[in-house]
Each structure stands twice: as structure tokens, then as C-alpha cells.
Amino acid sequence: MEFLSYLISGISLGSVYAIIALGYTMVYGIAKMLNFAHGDVIMVGGYMSFCAMMYLGVNKWLSILIAMAVCTLLGILIEAFAYRPLRRATSLAVLITAIGVSYLLQNSALLIWSSNPKVFPSVVSGTLNAGGLSVSYVSLFTVAACIVIMVALSLFISKTKIGKAMRACSEDKDAARLMGINVNFTISVTFAIGSALAAIAGVLLCSSYPTLTPTTGAMPGIKAFTAAVFGGIGSIPGAFLGGILLGIIESFAKAYISTQLSNSIVFAVLIVVLLVRPAGLLGKKITEKV
Amino acid sequence: MSNKKNTAMTFGSHVKELAKSDFITYGVVIAAFIIVSIFSSSGLLGRKAAGLLVPVCCYIVMALSLNLTVGIMGELSLGHAGFMSVGAFSGVIASMLLGEVIDNNVIRLAVAILVGAFFAAIVGFLIGIPVLRLRGDYLAIVTLAFGEIIKDLINCLVVGIDKNGLHIIFNFKGDKSAADLNLAEGGKAIIKGAQGATGTDKIATFAAGFVLILIALFIIQSLVRSRVGRAIIACRDNRIAAESVGIDVMKYKMFAFVLSAAIAGSAGALYGANYSNLVATKFDFNTSILILVFVVLGGLGNMLGSVIAATVLYILPEALREFANYRMLIYAIVLILVMILTNNPRLVALREKLFSKVSSVFKKGKKKSESEGGK
């Protein structure tokens, strides 16, 4: 029974990682950049939802929509002002800019909301008791949300015209441009979707772990990035699989090995996986052409 | 015939030019040291500014070390603070162990720095085996992972000394403390798990920092100008071409990586010797990123750039303390703007245009030789 409850909490945590990792992987697939500010968009999403509930007094579900709208806008603005001017720059320059954006978001949040942790009211309350096993509804809701998002995103990428444009841009931007695809618009849409997902992840994360500070997003961001690499960066099913596995490993490591070393164990598993499969679990192996 | 002679001459002048830039770097560092020493001995430096001197030296050495990995070797490392951490804690242990044996603080510090460098080099070698098999972003994420693992492991470390020698336990479950070391009477706990190292001796001096910078500079610059350095640069510029002319890419990369780790370890040991208490969480991902920012803003492969960027960017947030909460916001905005201004092709072209206009106004006569020397 204990095992099952750890497994469920692992899957629930993993679902949050998976949702964040989906955003990471989409942005990496199309813009070929490590968006280190993604974790901080999660934090902004959490604060937006919190403020909407506390200060505007809106409904919980509406607050999620508000958070998504704000984060979508934020994602588009970040891309347009910070990353677009560096489209042809070295990846290191873009990485440092992303770190700058991350600092900017964290410190803006620090100025606006101060470093005192806010207690986030869970969007779904109560626990389900079945045969000695108690599972909070938040966990179930998180897992369900993750599956719905994952399926919807896969359909969006494979069936719609803009999804097709995304795939084309991630293959070859110049060729896509020659085919009449608006590359800048496509990248904006990718950032918008990634940031909206980050907002959802922020609300879900804060519902499970209800303390909200300006650095809330940093560690989940890094771990979700690890999850994306774990599953094979650029691959959507990979991000999902990587996220869930990472969550389960973390939950078991905390329960059975050591709380202090749980992060280390997660990272150690990542290292081992990358040594065996250098492109991640579901990543495509790219052969080098001379 | 004349053609051959010509190439030989340009190569010779190229080498001279490089030597010149090396000497400029040493000159700037030495001049800065003399000026700061005069200031501090005449009491013009405030207490706070004087306290920044040793950390600035440490971060300069860290930036030099990371520049070797990122700029010269061409691989992105996001876990460099891990090596600093290994150096800091092994250095602290060494200096406390030697506290009774050696009276001279200078020798004690030198030994601590060597021990720090040695242990960081070992860790660098062990990490290098898996890390250097990977490429690009995958390599970067694995260095990040190792940095976090080192941080967590050191956070679990409990170390003490008594007359029987060194006692080390790992506090994996979070249930052990310094009392579990079972130290004999008169023993002392040095590192207490998450609390870190406390009550250690402060033996670092600004002069030691200066010497360490010079040594690091000397090692890296002579490496870059040597046969080994050229092999490392060849691996960076074109791995396949380097392999095809018989360069053992793995061997040279490992050499550069271990050397970089050792230098970072020495910087860490100096850093550890500058404070009476030290926690492992200080050397986290953010510290690695901070050093990376120094390297990138200073210019990849440019050692003088790293020295200047580390100095300015370390002091800047401290100097902006009056603005309290706004300082990191300003720092972030400056960082983004600098990256865009220096990397956007259109803005770079605009800047060069302005620059050439300005310089043509100032030195019309010299313009011809200028345009020949430039890109």
C-alpha cells in the first residue's frame, strides 16, 4: 500500500514535470535553444493565479485561464524582445540571454510580491479514500490534465497546419521559409503554447506544494529540462515519458533511499541514461555527416 | 620563394602579436594589484571593499578556469562551481589538519590550495570520463547534473579531526550530526553536514589571490601557445579534421578539462580559506552560471576579458547595494542588453559603422593602417 501511494505521488509529480518538459522540448525542437527562463514562467503563472484568486476574487478555474493568458503574452514578449534579435547568434549568447531573462523574471517577482512565501490555495481539494489508500484529488487531476495536454498537443502538432509548420521549422528553418512558412510567427506560437503550459504547470505545482516564492520555478524548471533530455529532447512523447519516470524515481528515492540525495539520484539516473543512449530514451540519433 | 618568406614573416609577426597580448594581460593584472595595494595600505579602501578583494581574485581564477573549458576547449560546462566546492572543502580540511603542524600561514595556504587543486583534478577526471563522451547541449546538462550531485554529496559530509586523525561520515539519511563522529577529547568537527564548515581559520590574503591569478594566467596562456594547446583548439574548431590528422581528441579534451578543474579547485581552496564558515549550497547552479556570464561577457578565449569581466561584474552588484532590490533587476537588464547589442548582426554592423566613422574623424591619417590590421 505504501508502495502504491509513493508510486501515485511520483506519477503526479512526474505529470507536472512532463507538462513543463513539453514546453522545454517544443522550444528546443524549433528554436534549438535552452530556454532557462521557462522555469520562471511557471512561477509567474503561479503568482498570477494566486493574485487572481486572492485580490480579484475570481473563480479557481477562471484564475487558471488568467494565468495562462498572462504567461502566453509573457512568452511571446520574451521571444520577441530577447530571443528574436539573436536568432542567428551562437547558442551560448542565446543561453546567457535566457539566463538574463530568468534573473529579470525572478527579481521582478521579488520586487512585486517580496520573498515571503505565499500560501497557495489548492485548485482541487479533498482526498479520495479507497481501500486504505488515500489519494488527493489534486494528484488525480494533475495526471488527467497531463494526459489530456499530451494527447491534445500531439494531435495539434500532427494534424493542424500550424503544427505542420512547426515540424517544418524544426527540420530546416531556411527551407521552411522558402516554402512560404512565416518562421517568426511559428516560433512565437511555439513560445505561446509552451508558456501557457508552464502556467498550467505552475498552478498544478503550487496546488500540490502550496508555498509560492520567486524561486519556486527554478528547481522544477531544471528538473523538467532534465526530464526533456532524459526522454530525448525535441520529442513530445519523450518529454512525457521522461517527466513521468523522473517523478517516480524522485518519489521512490525520497521514500526509500534519502530525502537529501533525491535530486542527486535523479541526476545520476540521467547521466547513466545519457551514457547508454546519448540522445535520450526516445530521441532520434543524428549521424554526423562529413 | 618570396611567397614562402612572406608567410613565414606573417607567422612570426602573428606569434609576436600573441606574445604582446599575453604581456598586456600580465601587465594589466600586475598594475591593478599594485594600485589596489597602494590604496588599501594607505587606508583609502573601505572595510567592505577590502573584504571583496579575495573573493574577486577567486572569481577571476574561476573565470579563467572556465574560459579554458568553454573558450579554448569549446565545451559548455554548467557545473563549474562543483569543482570550486571540492577545492574549497578539501582545502579547508587540509588547512585545519595542518593547523597544528605548520605555523606559517603562507605555507599552510599554499598546501591547502594544492590539495584543493589535486582533489578537484581527481573529481574532474572522474567526471570527464562520462562527460566528454557527450556533445553540445547533452554535455552541458550532464555537467549541470554533476554540479548538483557534488553539492548534495558535500552537503551530507560530516568531518572532524582529533588526535587519532580524520573522521568522515556521510549523513545520507539526515539523521547524523557532528556528535556521531565520536571524536576523542580535544577533537574538533570541521564540516557539519548541511551547516557546512564552521570555525575554520581565515588565512587567505589578497597577495595570495594575486599570485594565484598570475599562476593560472601563466598556465593557461602557455598552454594555449603550446603544441598541446593548438591540438585542443583544433579539436574545438573541427573535431573531425583534428581526428583525421591523428589528434587524440579524447585525450586532449580530458587534459584541458582536468586542468580546468584543478584551477577551479585552487580558486575554491582560496575562497574557503577566506571565510570562517562555508556552506555547500553556496556553490550551486547559480554560481556556475555567474562564472559563465563572466566568461561569455569577457569574450570566449580572451583571458584579459575574463579578468576584467569577473572584476567588474562581481563588484557591480556590490556597488549597487544602495539600490537594494533593484540591483539584480538592473543586472539582468544590462545582461540582456549587452548580449543583444554584441550579438545581433544588424546592431553589430551599426556599431562598427559608427565606430569607423568616429575613428576616421579622429585619426584620418592612420586610417589606412587600421583597416589593414582589422578584420
Q: DSSP labels for B45-56?
A: S-HHHHHHHHHH
Q: Is the pLDDT of residue B368 over 70?
A: no
Q: Which residues of B214-251 are buried (b: 16+ CB within 10 A; e: fewer)?
A: eebbebbbebbeeebbebbbbbbeebeebeeeebebee
Q: CA of A61, closest CA in chain B: separation in Å?
A: 32
Which residue of B148, B171, B326 is in closest CB contact with A267? B148
Nearest CB to B289; choose among A99, A104, A264? A99
Q: Is the pLDDT of residue B118 over 80?
A: yes
DSSP for residue A79: I
Chain A environment of B329 (Cβ under 8 Å):
103-104, 107-108, 111
Between B14 and A71, whose confidence is greater?
A: A71
Where does the pLDDT of residue A15 fall: very low under 50, low under 70, confident under 90, or very high at 90 and above?
A: very high
Q: Is residue B306 part of a domain?
A: yes
Task: Reply yes or no on whether the pLDDT at B106 is more than 70.
Answer: yes
pLDDT above 80 (res B70): yes
Chain A interface includes B114 (CB < 8 A): no
pLDDT at A207 exceeding the cut of 70: yes
Among A226-230, B14-18, B68-72, B297-301, the least confident range: B14-18
What ipTM was estimated for this complex?
0.85
Q: Return d(Cα B171, Cα B178) in angstroms, integer.
A: 10
- Quote the radius of gyration of chain A (alpha carbons, Å): 19
Distances (CA, A) of B349 to A93, A111, B363: 17, 36, 21
Amino acid at A112: I
Integer Cα distance of A123 and A117 in angstroms: 18
pLDDT of residue B363: 64
Its domain, for residue B140, covers 2-343
What pLDDT sits at residue B68? 94
Mean pLDDT for A110-126 is 85
Using the beta-carbon criterion (under 8 Å), do A93 and B343 form an inter-chain contact?
A: yes
Establish if B90 belongs to a structural domain.
yes
Q: Using CB atoms and an 8 Å cut-off, which of residues 22-81 of chain A contact chain B? A: 28, 34
Using alpha carbons, select from B199, B200, B160 the residue that is nearest to residue B176.
Answer: B160
Please tell me the predicted confidence (pLDDT) of residue A135.
82
Tell me the per-residue pLDDT of B177-228, one tens digit each, with 9 for 90 and over. Answer: 777 777 776 677 788 877 888 878 888 889 999 999 999 999 999 999 899 9
Q: Write out pLDDT tens, residues A237-253.
A: 899 999 999 999 999 99
> H/E element holding B137?
helix B136-155
Q: Does B169 touch chain A (CB under 8 A)?
A: no
A106 CB neighbours in chain B (<8 A) are 328
B367 occurs within a structural domain: no
B contacts of A28 (beta carbons < 8 Å):
137
- Average pLDDT score over chain B: 84
A41 within 8 A of A75, measured Cβ to Cβ: yes
Residue-level pLDDT at A193: 94
Examine the pLDDT at B329 and tell me if it is beyond 90: no
A161 exposed, middle or buried (CB, 10 Å; 0-12, 13-18, 19+)?
Answer: exposed
- pLDDT-derived band at B110 (thresholds 50, 70, 90) equals very high
Q: For position B306, what pLDDT does the model report?
A: 93
Whether residue B1 is predicted with pLDDT greater than 70 in this model: the reply is: no
C-alpha cell at B15: 606569434
DSSP three-state, residue A285: coil
> Chain A: nearest CA to B236, how far in angstroms?
15
Residue B32 CB: number of other CB atoms within 10 A?
16
Determine the pLDDT at residue B373: 42
Decide: pTM greater than 0.80. yes
**pLDDT at position B66 over 50:** yes
Query: Please, are residues A281 and A230 in contact by the beta-carbon 8 Å criterion?
Result: yes
DSSP-assigned letters across all residues of A198-258? HHHHHHHHHHHS-EE-TTTTHHHHHHHHHHHHHH-TT-HHHHHHHHHHHHHHHHHIIIII-
Number of domains in chain B: 1
Domain boundaries, chain A: 2-114+136-276
Of the listed ranges A104-113, A147-156, B200-209, the least confidently predicted one is B200-209
Is A34 in Cβ contact with B344 (below 8 Å)?
no
Structural domain includes residue B221: yes
Chain A stretch 158-187, residues whose beta carbon is closer than 8 A to a beta carbon of chain B: none
Report the pLDDT averaged over residues B16-28: 81
CB B78 within 8 A of CB B140: yes
Q: Find the mean pLDDT for residues A131-150.
A: 87
pLDDT at residue B370 above 50?
Answer: no
**pLDDT score recorded for residue B10:** 58
Does the CB of B323 have a partner CB in chain A at under 8 Å? no
Of the candidates B156, B329, B331, which has its C-beta nearest A111's C-beta?
A: B329
Chain A interface includes B325 (CB < 8 A): yes
Amino acid in position B125: F
Q: Best residue in B284, B343, B347, B348 to probe A by mutation, most A CBs within 10 Å?
A: B343
Burial of A148 (0-12, 13-18, 19+ CB in 10 A): exposed
Measuring CA to CA, which residue among A280, A201, A252 is closest to residue A29?
Answer: A280
Q: What is the pLDDT of residue A286?
A: 64
B162 found inside a domain: yes
The count of CB pairs under 8 A between chains A and B is: 130
What residue of B is the nearest CA neighbor of A278?
B134
Of the listed ranges B17-21, B92-96, B145-149, the least confidently predicted one is B17-21
Look at residue B2 and tell me whether its pLDDT is greater than 70.
no
Contacting residues of B for A34, CB less than 8 Å apart? 137, 140
Identify the pLDDT of residue A2: 81
Strands A127-130, B157-162: parallel, antiparallel or unpaired by DSSP? unpaired
**pLDDT for A229:** 86
- pLDDT for B326 equals 78
CATH code, domain carrying B165:
1.10.3470
For A52, the 3-state DSSP assignment is helix
Residues 182-221 of B with CB under 8 A from A: 194
Look at A2-16, A46-60, A83-97, B360-374 and tell me which has the smallest mean pLDDT. Answer: B360-374
- Residue B249 at interface with chain A, using a CB cutoff of 8 Å: no
- Subunit contact A100:B171, Cβ cutoff 8 A: no
Partnered with residue B191 across adjacent β-strands are B159, B197
Q: Is the pLDDT of residue B371 over 70?
A: no
Instruction: Check CB contact of B24 with chain A, cutoff 8 Å.
Output: no
> Cα–Cα distances in Å, from B43 out to B40, B210, B314?
5, 19, 22
pLDDT > 60? residue B9: no
Question: Given this model, what pLDDT does residue A285 score?
Answer: 67
Q: What is the mean pLDDT of chain A?
A: 88
What percentage of chain B reaches a pLDDT higher than 90? 37
Q: Cα-Cα-Cα-Cα dihedral of A19, A22, A24, A26, to 10°?
A: -150
Q: Is residue B297 less than 8 Å (CB to CB) from chain A?
A: yes
Give the per-residue pLDDT at B372.
44
At the second CATH level, the architecture of A2-114+136-276 is Orthogonal Bundle (1.10)
- Whether A97 sits inside 8 A of B340 (CB atoms) is yes
